Structure 1
Amino acid sequence: MIEVKGLTKHYGPTVAVDDLSFTVPAGQVTGFLGPNGAGKSTTMRMILGLDKPTSGSALINGKPYHQLAHPLREVGALLDARWVHPNRSARAHLQWMAASNGIAKSRVDEVLRLVGLSEVAGKNAGGFSLGMSQRLGLAGALLGDPPVLLFDEPVNGLDPEGILWIRRFMQRLASEGRTVLVSSHLLSEMSQTAEQLVVIGRGRLISDSTVQEFIDKSSESAVRVRSPQLDALRSLLIARGLTVREDGESESGPALLVVGATTEVIGAAAGENGVTLFELSAQRGSLEEAFMKLTGGDVQYHAEGMEEVMGGAL
């Protein structure tokens, strides 16, 4: 378990993290989200003892990082995939890490096999692609078989197959009872990977909830409905006090969007009045939509409209 309590970090007059508190439980993947400059990396660095907090604390299984006797056996982290001597082979890099924490040398080949780098274990890491470097970083995080894992943008540089692989891998680690905290800008991927979300903006906590709770509280629920008796259905639903909008034309024909209603309510109303339905489907908001709505005011840098930037040349 990771416990962050009142964590604050000042860099001169700049407040990078502001009285931040949250808990990352074991047994599930927890996503750590926020706009650029929100303080995610600074928070992860303080959890790992790489930055000293101005105030507050970050505990790993009840202890600050510097009190862990064998850190790699208790917490593994992937923060910077390029953090490796370019002239060391992948195997030599991991052997050096293992020796520093009293980890058996045999574990090196085990983790290389786990991340799919066995065939290039003898090659210098400086020649690795970003995706290969990510896998080497992941191998380093797993080296001590730790119960707590932190990953910062772990899918950077990976192809779709690699992204799918690491998603399933993180979920498997969590299913083994480990604590897994992962930061990512790929919101669509995070919606498929994480169960819990911690969302911050300008160093402050915005939300700590399940993925579905975050989406539900930040986006409008609606039901899409098609019928050969669309006008009658529209009048029926409006008479019941429901908000009805046109959903425009599509290959399947015109449809209505009914806001704030369930499929059960609409289906029952149609059935009671003999209205035939061709489609009745709940429209769920996306993590991207919810994220933009909740964090829009906390984005550090806003892009100008393209026309303004190009002086109206477009």
Structure 2
Amino acid sequence: MIEAVGLRKHYGRTKAVDDLSFTVRPGRVTGFLGPNGAGKSTTMRMILGLDTPTGGDVKIDGRHYADFKEPLRKVGALLDAKWVHPNRSARAHLKWLAVSNRIPVSRVDEVLEVVGLSEVAGKNAGGFSLGMAQRLGIAGALLGDPEVLLFDEPVNGLDPEGILWIRQFLHRLADEGRTVFVSSHLLSEMAQTAQELVVIGKGQLIAQTSTEQFIADATQDHVRVRSPQAVRLRELLAASATVTEDPAGNALVVQGLPADRIGELAAEHGIVLHELSPQRGSLEEAFMQLTRESVEYQAH
């Protein structure tokens, strides 16, 4: 478990993290979301003892990261995929990590197999693509078979097969009872990967809840309807629902009535329907709605 209490990090007058408290529990994949400049990377660095908090505290299973004598056995992390000596082979890079934490060297080939790098284990990491470097970083995080795992943008550079693999792999790690904390800007991927969310903006907590609840709280379900008698249908539905036109196509967007009731009303009045599609709010919509006041860099 990761627990942050009143965590703060200031750089001069800049508040990168401001009184941030949250808990990441084992057994579920927890997504860490926020706009650029929200303080996500700084928070992860403080969890791992790479940055010293200005105030507050953050612990892993009740202890600071620096207190673990062999930290890779407890915590695995990938913050920067390119953090590797370019002239070291993948196997050599993992071997020195293993030796430094008294991890059996045999574990190196095991994790290389897990991430699919066995065939290039002897090649210098400096020649790796970003996707291969990500896989090597994930191998390093897994090396000590840790209970707690932190990943910052783990799918960057991965092809579709690699993205599917990491999604399923993170779920499997969580199902084993591990604590899995993942930061990403790819909201469509987080919607399929994260079961819990910690959302921050300008260094402060916006929400900590389940992914499903986060979407439900910030968006509204609706029904997309297409009909050759759209004008008549709109007049009929407007009495008991909010009806607008879908800017993306020749359709109506109905809020306040379920799809089955819309279908029944259309049938009762002899209105032909070409489409009747319930639509759920997305994580992207919810994120944009709840973080719009926390965006530091906006394009115009």
Residue matched to 1:110: 110
**Which shows bigger deviation, 18-27 or 206-215?**
206-215
**Letter in structure 2 aligned against 1:27:** G
Q: Which residue of 1 aligns with 2:163?
A: 163
What is the letter of the counterpart of residue 224 of structure 1? Answer: R
User: Over the residues paired in the alignment, what is the CA RMSD in angstroms?
Assistant: 1.9
Aligned residue in 1 for 2:213? 213
Scaled by the length of structure 2, what TM-score is found?
0.93
Identity percentage over the alignment? 69
Paired position in structure 1 for 2:245: 246
Residue 98 of structure 1 aligns to which amino acid in structure 2? Answer: A
Contact 1:220 1:260 (C-alpha < 8 Å) held by counterparts: no
> Any residues of structure 2 matched to 1:17-96 within 5 Å, and which?
17-96=17-96
Contact 1:223 1:259 in 2 (8 A): yes
**Aligned mates of 1:156, 1:227 — CA distance in 2:** 42
Can you give the 5+ residue segments of structure 2 that lack an aligned partner in the other structure? none
Alignment coverage as a number of residue pairs: 300
Is 2:294 the partner of 1:295? Answer: no
Displacement of 1:293: 2.0
Q: CA offsets, 1:29-62, max 9 Å, x none?
A: 1111111111000000111111111111111112
Taking the aligned partners of 2:175 and 2:104, their CA distance within structure 1 comes to 25
AA matched with 1:245: T
Q: Please state if 1:284 is matched with 2:280.
A: yes
How many Å separate the matches in 1 of 2:213 and 2:186? Answer: 19
For residues 59 and 265 of structure 1, the distance between their equivalents in structure 2, rounded to whole angstroms, comes to: 51
Distance in structure 1 (CA, Å) of the matches to 2:59 and 2:278: 41
Change (3 A) 1:191 1:248: closer
Q: Which amino acid aligns with 1:211?
A: T
Distance 1:261 1:21 in 2: 39
- Which residue number corresponds to residue 310 of structure 1? none
Aligned-partner SS, 1:102: coil
Indicate the residue corresponding to 2:222 in structure 1. 222
**Matched position secondary structure for 2:293:** helix
* Structure 1 residues 120-167: Cα deviation after superposition (integer angstroms, max 9, x where no partner): 111111221111111111000000001110000111111222112211
- The 5 A counterparts of 1:98-177 are 98-177=98-177
Distance 2:248 2:124 in 1: 57
Q: Give runs of aligned pairs for residues 237-276 of structure 1, distance below 5 A.
A: 237-240=237-240, 242-247=241-246, 250=249, 254-270=250-266, 275-276=271-272
1:228 is displaced (CA, Å) by: 5.2
- Give the TM-score normalised by the residue count of structure 1: 0.89
Kindly provide the amino acid, as one letter, of the partner of residue 288 in structure 1: E
Q: 1:78 to 1:245 in 2, by over 3 A?
A: same
Q: CA deviation at 1:220?
A: 3.3
